[in-house]
A = this chain, B = another copy of it.
Amino acid sequence: MPTLNIEPLTQAAFAPFGEVIEPAAAKEVHSINEGTATRFDSLARVDVSGADGYPVISLFRAQPRRLPFTVTMLERHPLGSQAFMPLGQAPYLIVVALDVETMPHAFLARPGQGINFHRGTWHHPLLALERESDFLVIDRAGEASNCDEIHLRESWTIEAL
């Protein structure tokens, strides 16, 4: 079975798939609240479409996965972006693909790094590591179906960190 190499999560490498949410990724940094706080502004845009859709904030509590892990499926949300911000200090894996025929990418997020999948980006469901991990999630609510799921023709293994 082919393997996926793990890449470090950087803004440049992740750009085709979405945004990295971390202070270093800010294009605009403002001093606010009379100098008592810094705003790392607009790190990600919440992109919700469809007449009945609206953005919501949820929490995900994810059980850790063990490596080696085999990627056999991907999903995408055609009607909205989806952001994940870790609330703890454990690393996690992000598996994304430009399309379902090409090799996915596996990125390792360091503590403090969140991500926002662009609307329609193929990705694997959350892959927490090491321990039960909470994430703040910003995505779309609404009646319309917003999840396509595909079983990949070829499976991919992530061997180890």
Contacts and interface: CB of A to CB of B under 8 A. Distances in A.
Interface of A: 21-23, 26, 32-34, 36-46, 48, 54-63, 65, 83, 85, 87, 112, 114, 116, 125-126, 128, 134, 136-138, 141
B126 A33 contact: yes
Contacts of A36: 62-63, 65, 125-126
Contacts of A37: 60-63, 125-126, 128
A110 to B, nearest CB: 13
B57 A44 contact: yes
A33 B149 CA distance: 11
A58 B45 contact: no
Contacts of A32: 60, 125
Given A37-B125, A85-B136, A126-B33, A57 B63 contact: no
Nearest to A35: B63
Given A23-B61, A136-B21, A45 B40 contact: no
A38 B21 contact: no
A59 B141 CA distance: 23
Given A32-B125, A43-B58, A46-B54, 16 more contacts: A23-B61, A36-B126, A37-B60, A37-B63, A37-B128, A38-B60, A41-B56, A41-B58, A41-B141, A42-B58, A46-B57, A57-B85, A57-B116, A57-B138, A85-B85, A85-B136
